[in-house]
Amino acid sequence: MLRGLYNAASGMYSLERRQEALADNLANVQTPGYKKDDTVLKAFPEMLIKRIRDFDGAANVPVAGAPQIPGQPMTIGGLYNGVYAQERIPSFQQGALMQTDLPLDVAINDQEIPMQTINGRQVKPAALFTVQLPDGTVGYTRNGKWDVDANGNLVTADGYRVLGVNGQPIQLANGIRKEDLKIMPDGQILVQAGNQTTTVGRIGIALAQNPFDLRRLGGNVYQAAAPLPLMQNPGAAGSGVSLQQGFIEQSNVDAGQTMADMMQTVRGYEANQKVIDVYNQSLQQLYSVGKLNG
């Protein structure tokens, strides 16, 4: 009986974690470049149940493939001990691009990157901007809504410095106006002053061959166990990656589907709660019977 309580309790805990992930997704539906998290639920290891034959095998209905010998074990079936939320996996599906016409809004379009087979599974690589984290390490993000700080550094909305292909923060010289900047599909940042065009930097684009290995740090930023390689020719034919100035990538969260999933999760949570209530009532009756007999 208690095993049923454990199963229902594990289901409630797993669905609670799934609901937390869905709530985070819904809260970031308007965050540029945000990638939703999918919660993976997994069953605990299966146990095989058997019983000992304590009867005359000849009198029993034969079981296909099993010897009818008294005293030997006979398989009853498998038993599962509930589920658990194994992990939250980000979905790097391309979000819709929204035109803003702002000079420092940049979106990555990597829909044309070909799929790859990693550990027998089809995985689509993902391109990301490189940023400098407060501790000096490198982070990765898809949020291309940028600005310029007081020191002329190109920064994200969270204040992280955008890195160039040389691994250093991109810094604009004094007097350069945002309106004069032109960002090319390959990441080059040009300044147009009259008839002159000057290159002031190039955006570093990292390529994650298996984006599922990335770890979410918060603030729409990811970190890798080892530095990701930078793309040498983004925007070139066959690279599958290009930058678009004046656009931002919207979140890939489907608000309607997320709300429907949240309602379904609540219903599952309530169902497990009712199972626990039934077991609780049964235990109370058993306790009452025990007191009367005592």
Residue 88 Cα to chain centre, angstroms:
5
d(CA 129, CA 191): 21
DSSP class of residue 262? H
What separation in angstroms does the CA of 176 have from each of 77, 101, 143, 191?
73, 18, 23, 8
The full set of domain ranges for the chain reads 2-44+80-87+255-293, 95-249
**pLDDT per residue as tens, the chain (294 positions):** 577 788 888 888 899 999 999 999 999 999 999 999 998 887 776 777 777 766 554 555 555 555 555 566 777 776 667 787 878 888 888 999 999 999 999 999 998 888 888 888 888 899 999 999 999 999 999 999 999 988 889 999 888 999 999 899 998 887 788 888 999 999 999 987 777 888 888 999 999 999 988 998 887 899 999 999 998 878 776 778 999 999 999 999 999 999 999 999 999 999 989 988 888 888 888 777 756 555
Give the integer Cα–Cα distance in Å for 106 and 74: 65
Using CA atoms, how far apart are residues 156 and 141, in angstroms rounded to an integer?
Answer: 9
> Could you tell me the two tokens for 64?
């296909």
The tokens describing 242, both together, are 């290009």
At 281, which helix (H) or strand (E)?
helix 255-293
3-state class (DSSP) for residue 11: helix
Dist CA 247 CA 109 (whole Å): 10
Cβ atoms within 10 Å, residue 185? 15
Structure tokens at 279: 């077991």
